[in-house]
Amino acid sequence: MANCAIVGINWGDEGKGRMVDLIAADFGVVVRYQGGNNAGHTVVNEYGKFALHLLPSGIFRKGVVNVLGNGAVVDPEKLLEEIEDLRSKGISVTPENLKVSDRAPIVFPYHRDQDALEEARLQDAKYGSTKRGIAPVYGDKYMKKTIMLGELFYPDYLKKRLEGILEWKNLILKNVYGAKTYSLNELMDWLIAYGEPLKPFICDTGAFLREADGKKNILFEAQLGVLRDLDFGIYPYTSSSAPLAAYAPIGAGMPGAKIDRVIGVVKAYSTCVGEGPFTAEWFGEEASRLREAGSEYGAATGRPRRVGPMDIVATRYGVAMQGATEVALTKIDILSYMEKIPVCVQYELHGKKTDDFPFPAIVGDTKPVIEYLPGWGTDISGCRSFSELPKAAQDYILYIEKNIRCPITNVSVGADRDAIIRR
């Protein structure tokens, strides 16, 4: 049996969901090991087009068990909405194919409020949050002031803990932000409405996974990418969790697990949702044309994505941080309209060229060094083998592969599940 992690190499939004959906049939278990419903993993299959926020992208595959691990954070209200949405479209979601960790922290309404209030307070200095409470709940976790889903089974214990936490949280809402506070009864009613229906899904997922390890292939699904990692990303414009493959066993609840393959997902051009430095960013008409060609709008937020050419410097850094053993290159078909294909091959920093991704404080001082490769000027969405691609498209793939120093094993040429070239 072999375990695999599918992870983001850049700023997120690379196409991880479609890759998980594609290969999930080869795995018995798919695990989301970090993040919350700030994710937007787009999947297109025979059931339609979906933007998954919390549910693992293996949920469409029959016989696959999907797990939300202890490293994730769960908004019960939003998870129930997502489950019901899939069920309404004919997708089975049951305690047999979805298991949610009893150790995952609960995202409360006050976490969402605090997230939005802090972004408003920061104004032009905001971090680009999705305002879904993710940073506040992770902050509370490390301050030992969260409620775990498993506490739903111990209502007296839960009520006592929530009472103490709420006193502290209301002080922040009232005295820092001048905002609405919450009563204990209000939140207990909210937990009854949205927590109780989730109880059949909640279990010791760590025990389940440790038992499955070695008997079933396990696929770990990350949210976001290296440049949004709390430790190694463009801090402070990061997520509040660790989207690295190295964290997957911990966030899943099986710290001793071995990961045999790490598939890093990279777009054939660069995109970014949220704030922070983005060296190769395009603006104006050039950006608009690429954004429209690739339908580059955030799946979680609907915000227009920032766009630009493939960034070799950032991608090579991401490959190294993820320990990627192979790369999936997505959306290369979008570049078909270009006569020549731009690539950011180096950064210029304070008058000197560099191949290295800089410390966060100076990333914003960098300028892109651009080279151009020939375009192919034809629709490639029907290609299903490398040899069917125009030579210019082949050369582009080989150029990226050489410069990021990692083999490209999968190339997507369209949104559909089968629009993939395997090398």
8 A C-beta contact, residue 60 and residue 94:
no
CA dist 333 and 109 (Å) reads: 41
Cα–Cα–Cα angle for 37, 239, 31, rounded to 5 degrees: 50
Q: Rounded to the nearest 5°, which phi and psi values hold at 367?
A: -125, 145
Identify which of 27, 19, 29, 28 has the alpha carbon closest to the alpha carbon of residue 52: 19
8 A C-beta contact, residue 363 and residue 277:
yes
DSSP collapsed to 3 states, 88-150: HCCCCCCCCCEEEECCCEECCHHHHHHHHHHHHHHHHHCCCCCCCCHHHHHHHHHCCCCCEHH
Question: Cα separations (Å) of 278 from 13, 233, 311, 312?
Answer: 14, 12, 10, 13
Catalytic residue, from 41, 53, 75, 213: name it: 41
8 A C-beta contact, residue 128 and residue 275:
yes
> In the annotation, is 53 catalytic?
no
**Tokens 């911990």 sit on residue:** 250
> In the annotation, is 260 catalytic?
no
Report how many helices (DSSP H) and strands (DSSP E) the chain contains, helices first.
12, 18
User: Catalytic residue positions?
Assistant: 13, 41
